[in-house]
Each structure stands twice: as C-alpha cells, then as structure tokens.
Structure 1
Amino acid sequence: MIKVLFFSHTMPLHNLRRVKAILFLPLLLSGCFDHYRTTENLCDDNPDLCQPLNLNDGQCRIQRTKLIWQRYDTLQTPTDEHKFKELKATKEYQFCLEYAARIEPTELKQRKTKRIQALYHSYESIERLNQELLPSQNPHIIYYRWSQGDQIAKQQFMALEGDKKLEHPELQLALARYYVNKNKHKTLDLLHHSLSLYKAKDNINISILRTLSTLYYQQQNMAAAYVWTNITTHYHPNNAPQKIAIHNSFKLTNTEREKLDRTTLNIIATLNSGQYQRTDIMTQ
C-alpha cells in the first residue's frame, strides 16, 4: 500500500520545511554514499582499477574486492595513508594469488594464466607503491620500511624516539622489539606504555601480552608471569596450553592463585575500558 502525505494549508511554514527536509534526506544520502552499489558498477566506470586483476575467478575474491575498493579510495584521495592501505591490501591479494596460481583449474585453463598475470601485476604494484612511499614521514610507513630491511628507515624511526608521533601502541611495540635484547627494563616500560595507549574496545596486539609474560618469567617474577599469561589466554584462547604449563610449573598455593586471578580480572577490566595504568606484580 502506498501512503500519500497531504500538507494542510494551515500547517506552520517552519513545520512544512522540516517535513520536506526529512523527505529529501534519503535522496541526499543515497547520492553521497551509494554512488557505487557494487564492485561491478565500480569496475564498469573505472576499468583501470580492475582489469589487471583475475576478475570472474572464484579464487581470491575477498582479497580482490578489498583491493579494488582501496584502489578507488586512493584514486579519490591519494594520500600516503591511503597508499599504505593499498600496499597492504595488495600484499594480502598477492599472498592469496601465490597459492591460487598453483591450483590447476578443472575447466578453463586460461584462468591459471590470468592468475599468473594478476600475480605479476601485484608485484609491479607493490614495487610502485614502495617507491611512492619512500619519502613519507609517516612513522607507521617508516617502521614498515624498516621491517622490510631498510636500514635508513631504521635510523629515521629511532630518531623519533620520545616524539609524540610514536604515541601509538604498535609503534611503542616496535621500540620494545628493538630494545628487547639490549635493555629488558626499558622494554617492559615500553610494553606497559603501549597498553596504556589503547582505547576502549580496541583490539590489543597479543604480542605485547605474550612478551610481558615471557620477560617476567625470564626475570623469575613468577607472579607477574602467571598474571600476564592468564591475560594473554583471555585475549587469545588458543594459548590455553601455555596457561596450563604455567599453572603446573609455578606451584602456587590456592590462596596465591586466587589473589593473582583477581589481579588478572582487574587488569583486563582496565584494558577493556581503555584506562590501563602500569601494574607491578611482585612475587611474595
């Protein structure tokens, strides 16, 4: 049934304007957000973004779609941040293609050729994006270049130590990895600080929690190692075997375990709420 709205001539003018604004709002929103409703529509209007990829192939569909839309975002706003996202999306696509290219299609043999061509295209795209991002001063991109073996990027990144630009959990973790074999106490400081930078409902990098557990174990601070292992298991349930090993090796009394379990829950609550502050746990 179609409902028709009639406007009374007695309706106040400001109310009439408000109703008209509400009626036209969906049209305005659809014009802003639904310019391309499907990937196919996007590719029809922007063939250069899509044609080099293995279209109409069931392999790597998710990675391919993500890459296409990220390429479109980069085309619209060609910032270093968007290029970096495109680079990461291309690498995910490439990783999938390297596996898919080894699969022999059961029907159309040319599909394998298209996959290999798309794979070569991904290599070229990654090289191009790496070159375009070479001058970037974004610390995340600098760290990425360092992680790929760029020693100049390593010097650039370490020169930023203490700068507010590195006030991000992942960047503090990067510093911690640098110091882990040089200064254990500084490493612990950096790891705790990285946790304090998370906001409520952020996804916490499990490597931070696991490294805290390992370092405290190496320092023979079994209470702290026990707590951080429990926290690691909470955020990464597949880590349960390690928790069992810790329980068996620490030989804690029931009273000690109960007290440390309460500490564990308190820390998890502060992490979930984005209000973590360093908690020192000493063996009694």
Structure 2
Amino acid sequence: MSKIILLSILTMLLSACDGLGSITVKDICEKHPEMCSDLNPDSWCRAEKANIIKNRYNQSRASTDRGTYEQLLNFEAYKKCIAKASQIEHIKLKERKSERVKGLLTAERELKRLAQMTRNNNSPHLLYYHWSRFQNEDALKGFLAYENTPQMEYPEMQVALATYYIKFDRIKAIQLLYRALELYGEGDDIDNEIFLSLSSLFMKEEQFDWAYLWGYVGREFGVEDLNLTSIEVILHQQSRQSGPIEDKADTIIEQLNEGRFRAP
C-alpha cells in the first residue's frame, strides 16, 4: 500500500475520532432541547448560556461533584448577566424581556435546587461553596480537612484555600496563590483575580516591587482594576526602577502562557 493511501486513511480516521468527541451548543440544543429551553433564546448572555448547556450535557453523560460545583458557578454568572439584561426594554419586541425573566427564574430555581441537593455533600468543591455562600461552619471544617490532599490539587481549590487564609495569614495565602498558578497548564484560562490578589497582598506586606510585578502581569492577562502608576511612584521614592521588574514579569508571563510557572 502506498504512503499516500496510508496517509489518507490515517487522516480519515483522525477526522472520525474528532467528530465523535466534538459537539456544539447548537447540536446539543437540537438533540436535547430540554437542556436549552428554559434559558433565554436571544443573544444576551451567550457565553454564560453556553457554559450551562455544555455542563448539562457533560453531567448527563458522567456526573461529577466538580461538575456540579462548576454548574453552580455557571448559574451565578448567568443570573448576574440575565438580571441586567431583563431590565432592558426592546421597543419593538417587548416579549423578549419576558423571555429573559424566564431565564432569570431558571437561574434562581437551579441555584436553589443544586444548593439543596448538595447541602450534605462532602466533596471539597461543594464544601467550599456552602461555606463561602452560606457561611456554613461545618462545611468549612470539612473543607479545611482536605488541605494538603490530592483532592485540592486544582487551581480553583488553591484559590479557595487562599480566600480562607487571606485575612490572617497573608504569606500562606500568597503561597497558595502561587501553587494555583503552578497547576495551570499551557493554554488554560487563568483566573485573573489571582493577580489582583497577589498585587494587593504584596502591597499590604509593603513589598512594593512584587506588588508592581504582579500588577504588571495582571494587566497583561486583562485585569482592569489596577493602578500601577501609584505603585510606580512608591518605587521611585525608594530609588527603585520599574524596568528590571517588568523584565522579570515578562518572563513570568511567558512561563504562565506555557504552563511552566514555578513559584519564585
């Protein structure tokens, strides 16, 4: 058999495999309309809706506690978006407002249902959710019991631990945020709140060079609530130059993009 024929067969096989593993939101809604029909049908909150629909599909195939936690966050984001959209009147198509209200009611219903369903769940993700949202102290105790276990080796769980320690142990919070960054792989979407938190923590520690560095990194990853100029003024007052710090920050940005960041 010629190399050209072998190559053609291999290409077809790879294409077939790709097709089995890929499904669009449109495909899901056509095949499983019940996964989409309770959300607003117009273009508002497109990304938030897509996350909910894809999660519903994935959970229907293999339900996980982490998937349930992610869906709670998805519905929180959708509720925030659709609540804003439902206040906007369309002059010619006012019925669209009622469709958005339907989506808002869905978000409220699903958040209540999922919270009720998971109130006795002992997975770290859901224990953290019930502590952070409902101040459940028993959930907090259960969540902290997972510290230093493999179940916490996810970026979001390291960030969750940091939110607990941030009020009384800033150094540990910084270490946890560093660990979160180490756990991201190449191409992953990094939670840019990490950079804002690191810059703020270092400001409180009066380590202004590190505060500037993480603010600079955060700006490159889309953080908007940063005032690097004020930190730069402090550095100049201390006879520190921002250039070398920016060079170091550029190296860290490259490491993060390639999934090979290691805590300094």
Flag whether TM exceeds 0.5 (same fold): yes
2: CA distance, partners of 1:65 / 1:227: 35
Q: 1:174 aligns with which of 142, 152, 160?
A: 160
Aligned partner of residue 53 in structure 1, secondary structure: coil
Q: Report matched runs for 1:87-98 at 5 Å.
A: 87-98=72-83
2: CA distance, partners of 1:19 / 1:251: 61
- Tell me if the contact between 1:191 and 1:212 (Cα under 8 Å) persists in the aligned partners: yes
Pair 1:29–1:100, CA change in 2 (3 A) = same
CA deviation vs aligned residue, 1:182-222 (integer Å, no higher than 9, x gap): 12332333333333333334343333333333333333333
Q: 2:101 aligns with which of 113, 116, 128?
A: 116
1:32 aligns with 2:20: yes
1:161 aligns with 2:147: yes
Structure 2 equivalent of residue 227 of structure 1 = 213
Using the TM superposition, give the Cα deviation of residue 155 of structure 1 relative to its aligned residue in structure 2, in angstroms. 1.5
Aligned partner of residue 114 in structure 2, secondary structure: helix
- Tell me if the contact between 2:193 and 2:223 (Cα under 8 Å) persists in the aligned partners: no
Pair 1:18–1:263, CA change in 2 (3 A) = closer
1:248 aligns with 2:236: no
CA deviation vs aligned residue, 1:134-183 (integer Å, no higher than 9, x gap): 34443223222222123322111111122222223332222222222212
Aligned partner of residue 56 in structure 2, secondary structure: helix
Letter in 2 for 1:125: E
- Tell me if the contact between 1:74 and 1:86 (Cα under 8 Å) persists in the aligned partners: no
Letter in 2 for 1:248: V
Aligned partner of residue 174 in structure 2, secondary structure: helix
Pair 1:75–1:167, CA change in 2 (3 A) = closer
1:125 aligns with 2:110: yes
Letter in 2 for 1:167: E
Structure 2 equivalent of residue 263 of structure 1 = 248
Structure 2 equivalent of residue 205 of structure 1 = 191
Structure 2 equivalent of residue 75 of structure 1 = 60
Report the structure number with the largest CA radius of gyration. 1
Pair 1:32–1:200, CA change in 2 (3 A) = closer
> How many residues were matched structurally?
263
Using the TM superposition, give the Cα deviation of residue 253 of structure 1 relative to its aligned residue in structure 2, in angstroms. 7.5
Unaligned runs of 5+ in 1: 1-11, 280-284
2: CA distance, partners of 1:144 / 1:239: 25
1:214 aligns with 2:200: yes
Q: TM-score, normalised by structure 2?
A: 0.76
Root-mean-square deviation (Å): 3.6
User: Which stretch has the larger CA shift, 176-185 or 100-109?
Assistant: 100-109
Identity of aligned residues (%): 27
- Tell me if the contact between 2:86 and 2:100 (Cα under 8 Å) persists in the aligned partners: yes
Using the TM superposition, give the Cα deviation of residue 269 of structure 1 relative to its aligned residue in structure 2, in angstroms. 3.8
Letter in 1 for 2:133: Q
1:189 aligns with 2:175: yes
Structure 2 equivalent of residue 7 of structure 1 = none
User: Which stretch has the larger CA shift, 23-32 or 207-216?
Assistant: 23-32
- Tell me if the contact between 1:53 and 1:64 (Cα under 8 Å) persists in the aligned partners: yes
1: CA distance, partners of 2:48 / 2:89: 20
- Tell me if the contact between 1:97 and 1:115 (Cα under 8 Å) persists in the aligned partners: yes
Letter in 2 for 1:218: K
1: CA distance, partners of 2:17 / 2:45: 32
Structure 2 equivalent of residue 5 of structure 1 = none
Using the TM superposition, give the Cα deviation of residue 68 of structure 1 relative to its aligned residue in structure 2, in angstroms. 3.2
Structure 1 equivalent of residue 133 of structure 2 = 148
Q: TM-score, normalised by structure 1?
A: 0.72
